[in-house]
């Protein structure tokens, strides 16, 4: 409780503490106070441990639903419960090391140019190796059974959003790396739960993920059980098993055309697809060609996907302060995001000299 004593806690947050919702922590700059929320229902991390998410209570009319990354896995080597603090080299398999405090970037709410400064936040970590999509218990070896329950966990946080922010006027679903894979699906689910809210989806750094039948069958279906968990949106006669990752965007757009959809990618981010190489085109694959090809296919399927493609091979954007420094063709990323969320979707931004 040391951090709580040092921070000035708003009365609304103090009320949550007294109500027993969870442990509050203050951010590094003394502004963001987080409440840990124990998820209800059959929610677990990959190792069967308890799943929880985090809340920053601010403006109840404006909410960021943040789907964190955390990596993915689909074989015994990738999914092993090795390493320290609940994470190995491929994914986080428990929540033990995840706390959204001491952040900068978009979590620095003291900056006037932060487009999310006044928002409430729900911070949903991935600890199941399935990009927030799974609902399966998969045995990879005699001593390794993984609870791929990302969709169960994510929709529990979504139910909390709908219950505690019923009058939300604006919800921005932000997906980071692997968390951005499912972001358009959650955008559609938010629109279903909160029909009066304007919903914006901003997914970062999964633009090169493939729509590959082998990947869809081997990983999404057989390992993660994602297709059995998908919402029953009947669109153009296609069932969930007709959806690959890029098609998630088109399905969400056709399900609710009012959703604003947007993505960000570095043109040659090697970390965004490091495990996916065998399902991409070429050896080595041209990541920018994959990103551009996926966007063309999404828009050909009837979606309007706003996009910002930056040069180079960087990876993180949300936590570092360079969130405020990224600029392509004189368009600053934070200004572009602000336009997305204020009813004036901007033109696409794409680097000319994109090389790493």
pLDDT for 335: 97
pLDDT for 237: 67
pLDDT for 189: 98
pLDDT for 344: 84
pLDDT for 181: 97
pLDDT averaged per 10 residues in sequence order, the chain, 356 residues: 32 34 43 86 94 96 96 97 93 86 83 95 96 97 97 98 98 97 98 97 96 93 94 73 89 95 96 91 93 97 96 93 96 97 91 91
pLDDT for 45: 97
pLDDT for 236: 66
Q: Would you kindly state where each structural domain of the chain is located, as residue ranges?
A: 2-350
Indicate the pTM of the whole model.
0.90
Peptide bond into 176 cis (omega under 30): no
pLDDT for 28: 45
pLDDT for 33: 87
Evaluate whether the domain defined by 2-350 bears CATH number 3.40.50.1820: yes
């Amino acid at each position: 409780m040391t951090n709580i004593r040092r921070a000035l806690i708003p009365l609304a947050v103090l009320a949550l503490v007294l109500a027993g919702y969870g442990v509050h922590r203050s951010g590094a700059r003394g502004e963001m106070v987080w409440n840990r929320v124990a998820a209800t229902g059959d929610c677990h991390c990959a190792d069967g441990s308890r799943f929880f998410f985090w809340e920053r209570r601010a403006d109840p009319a404006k909410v960021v639903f943040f789907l964190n990354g955390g990596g993915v896995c689909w074989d015994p080597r990738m999914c092993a419960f090795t390493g320290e603090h609940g994470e190995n080299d491929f994914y986080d398999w428990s929540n033990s090391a995840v706390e959204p405090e001491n952040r900068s970037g978009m979590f620095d709410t003291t900056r006037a140019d932060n487009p999310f400064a006044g928002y409430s936040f729900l911070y949903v970590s991935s600890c199941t190796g399935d990009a927030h999509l799974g609902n399966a218990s998969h045995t990879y070896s005699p001593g390794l059974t993984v609870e791929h329950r990302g969709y169960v966990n994510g929709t529990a946080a979504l139910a909390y959003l709908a219950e505690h922010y019923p009058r939300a006027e604006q919800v921005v679903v932000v997906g980071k790396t692997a968390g951005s894979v499912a972001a358009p699906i959650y955008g559609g689910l938010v629109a279903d739960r909160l029909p009066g809210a304007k919903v914006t989806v901003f997914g970062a750094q999964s633009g090169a993920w493939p729509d590959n039948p082998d990947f869809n069958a081997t990983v999404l279906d057989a390992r993660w059980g994602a297709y059995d968990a998908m919402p029953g949106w009947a669109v153009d006669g296609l069932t969930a098993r007709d959806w690959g990752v890029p098609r998630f965007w088109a399905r969400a757009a056709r399900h609710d055309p009012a959703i604003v959809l947007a993505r960000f990618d570095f043109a040659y981010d090697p970390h965004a697809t490091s495990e996916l190489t065998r399902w991409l085109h070429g050896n080595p694959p041209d990541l920018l060609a994959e990103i551009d090809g996926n966007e063309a296919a999404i828009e050909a399927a009837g979606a309007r996907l706003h996009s910002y493609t930056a040069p180079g091979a960087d990876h993180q954007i949300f936590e570092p302060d360079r969130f405020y420094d990224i600029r392509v063709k004189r368009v600053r990323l934070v200004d572009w995001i602000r336009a997305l969320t204020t009813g004036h979707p901007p033109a696409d931004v794409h680097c000319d000299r994109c090389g790493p």
